Structure 1
């Protein structure tokens, strides 16, 4: 077990990091000791805010010598308590937010080298400045950091075409648990020197090392884009529509978001300035984005033709295409505001899960029926990225129940049921948010024993003292 820091270590870190890099003041610590959902609360011996990789090295080296735990944190947008320290208060909270430089950007290499504390919105802006783009986007782009995106293998809305962070990270710089600095930013497309440390660090949630910088893959800028909203009768119709659009438009289809009517209604009820895009109500909806590179036929014309054909084939009941950028953003706002609308409605059990794409329509129907059958009155909002099988399966307590008591019990049984259904469908209990604290026990219960053996062996080999983000991924 990790140890509490000695007064000597606290004094040394305060002297080496200075007042901007070391704080024990309650007002400085408070915003970072509770997770984004307000579910996890912790304490820390001190907030450490290094400015260079060398300072991170020094911190880890000193902590390793005393076996003191470190909890890395970026934008504090974890959905599973992955960046919140424990309640004991013996660990250090290591913030990477001061490390936010762009070290290199190259249109020739289609690469941007960013430090871990840079927020995603700034990555987008820098890429656009050289006529490129970084093709990963999510609702928290104004606060999510590069280090956090790497450490959780973030997905977002464009995984359908470009994949998760695993596909977008060309190289990493990271401090390992012994304090050594891994120099892996070269961005080589081909490198067969044994085990891929980069891929082990991606998605490790800071349990194998601290990411200090990443080389990110850039792609060509969009020449034009088109965004449409469609009305559908069922998730099966949505999958048929997706496959039809892909057959007509190929990889121009970048996003395909499946949204039920109750999610849309929740957004309209709680988010000012939103409205239903279609005149008639529909049981399900799909938000579609199509792009075209510069020099090719406009994306709007291509999507309009493909949707017209889809309507003729009864693959969709209705559709509208955004006439301008403002309308496109308004359609995306409906999708990206679901989480905020849910929060305003009240607490809920959130499940970020994945099943095979072909199984997703059936899973949405059968899982809902199973949960509602065992727990009458609960309200289910299930939406997600149909093209990659990612479902956000959220359960709100019955209207007449005490939310706090229901969410703790029987809420825990609801989550166990959902994870069992996902496992039986050949899926994953975590699609894009990670394991963190919230799903550690569920992972231990549901994962393939061979996978757990390998993961624990890697953790023990690289971090034998268990100082790197303890209690995350593996039960505390």
Structure 2
């Protein structure tokens, strides 16, 4: 059991971190005590903002000796309340935002050592100056930090080709619950010293250690890209198109997103300076992107695959971006869906994954299950068909008090969705983590063997339970 921080502990932490690294000022704390969606609200005895790994280690050591709970936080852009303290006011918020150095970029080895507080978009720009890119991107790139992305094993829109964050992490530096520093930054391709602590920390949501830096894999800047917005009848057709393009184009196919017209319509209504890429609406759309060295070759390859698909009726219409501006416009439509959905009103968001071949089945069948159990409920799905991860949102019946409906039915709705996902061999969390939002549901419906293993690892590394209590397990 953790204990509230004593006045002497707070004084020791203030002396250690100084005025820039320690505060109890309610106005300074306030923005960081609520999650991005505004669903979870907490309180904290103080916010710690160490500027070095050594300061993190010293702070964790003091907290461990006192039995005080720590909630690590990066950009606070998570979707599951994983970085929000509880409401008791007895936990300490530890921000990694001052750990903001890019320690090294090795262009020849295509590696970079980056501290946890570096914002993803800033990192993108830094490696671009070296003719390289970090091939993970998402809508919150302007606020998401490297430490948070590692700790949640983030995905994004380029997983189809490059994998999740775990695949891009070559090494990790972290402070463990006893205050010791794990230095696993060396990018070893072979290392058989037992359990891979780097992969264990990646996706642990700050419950096993506080990531302070990571060694990340880079790839060359793609000299060219080809982007297309495609009108379709159904997710089944999208899957057929995905398989066809994957077989014909291989690694050139970097992204394959699906969007229903309801989502596009919401973006067009709520997001300024957006427009529909096609002349007439279609029930579904695919946003695909190819990357490579030769623009003409990419365009030719894309046309060679899409022309017969049009002739066969597999797709209804196609718009191919003529320049970088149009490519960015297409992606802005996709990246603005969450913002537009929030403007539409309250909804239940589900970040799920199932085997790719079963995704159209889930998208087709789940709305019927929902409407049978909850008359009037509306479901929509969008996202990364290429890797089996689709964001499944459930909206309250039209005309009702949305917040009240969610308060009454939300848990049962999510249980129905997640049981369907598990039935299809999927996961209740594809890329956002478990946090506090899905902790109870994970304990209820996940495999007993998996849960026992997770709890055993947590107990072994953090026996006092001081790191991010109430999250994940």
Q: Residue 201 of structure 1 aligns with which residue? A: 201
SS at match of 2:195: coil
Deviating more after overlay: 112-121 vs 397-406: 397-406
Query: 1:319 maps to what in 2?
Result: 318
Q: Select between 282-291 and 403-412 the one with higher mean Cα deviation.
A: 403-412
Secondary structure of 1:350's match?
Answer: strand
Name 1:347's counterpart in structure 2: 346
Q: Match for residue 76 of structure 1?
A: 76
- Deviation at 1:302? 2.0
Give the CA deviation at 1:276.
Answer: 1.2
CA positional deviation for 1:361: 0.5
Q: SS state of the match for residue 349, structure 2?
A: coil
Q: Which runs of 5+ in 2 are unaligned?
A: none
Structure 1 residues 147-166: Cα deviation after superposition (integer angstroms, max 9, x where no partner): 00000000000000000001
Question: Deviations for 1:434-461, whole angstroms, at most 9, x for unmatched residues?
Answer: 0000000110011111110110000000
- Deviation of 1:376 (Å): 1.8
Q: 1:299, CA displacement in angstroms? A: 2.1
For residues 287-316 of structure 1, the C-alpha deviation after alignment (integer angstroms, 9 at most, x for no partner) is 0000113x6854223212221132123221
The answer as to whether partners of 2:225 and 2:295 remain within 8 angstroms in 1 is: no
Query: How many pairs does the alignment contain?
Result: 473
Q: What is the distance in 2 between the residues matched to 1:141 and 1:299?
A: 27
Q: 3-state SS of the aligned residue for 2:287?
A: strand
Aligned partner of 1:113 in structure 2 is: 113
Counterpart mapping for 1:59-138 below 5 A: 59-138=59-138
User: Residues 126-152 of structure 1: CA distance to partner in whole angstroms, max 9, x if unpaired?
Assistant: 111111110000000000000000000
TM-score where L is the length of structure 2: 0.99
**Does the 8 Å contact 1:304/1:321 carry over to 2?**
no
Please give the secondary structure, in 1, of the residue aligned with 2:239. Answer: helix
Unaligned runs of at least 5 residues, structure 1 = none
Cα offsets for 1:230-275 (capped at 9, x unmatched): 0001101000001111122111010000111111111111111112
Report Cα offsets for 1:1-38 as digits up to 9, x if no partner. 21001111101111111110000001100000000000
CA contact (8 A) 1:75 1:143 kept: yes
Superposed CA offset, 1:97-128 (max 9, x none) = 01010111011111010000001011111111
Question: What is the distance in 2 between the residues matched to 1:254 and 1:151?
Answer: 24
3-state secondary structure, aligned to 2:433: coil
Q: CA contact under 8 A between 2:354 and 2:388: conserved in structure 1?
A: yes
Which residue of structure 2 aligns with residue 279 of structure 1? 279
1:221 corresponds to: 221
Determine whether 1:383 maps to 2:382.
Answer: yes
Instruction: State the distance in 2 between where 1:317 and 1:250 align.
Output: 24
CA RMSD of superposed structures (Å): 1.0
C-alpha distance in 1 between matches for 2:455 and 2:30: 32
1:234-253 correspondence to structure 2 within 5 Å:
234-253=234-253
Q: What SS does the corresponding residue of 2:299 show, helix, strand or coil?
A: helix
Q: How far, CA to CA, are the matches of 1:314 and 1:113 in structure 2?
A: 48
Structure 1: 4+ residue segments shifted above 6 A: none
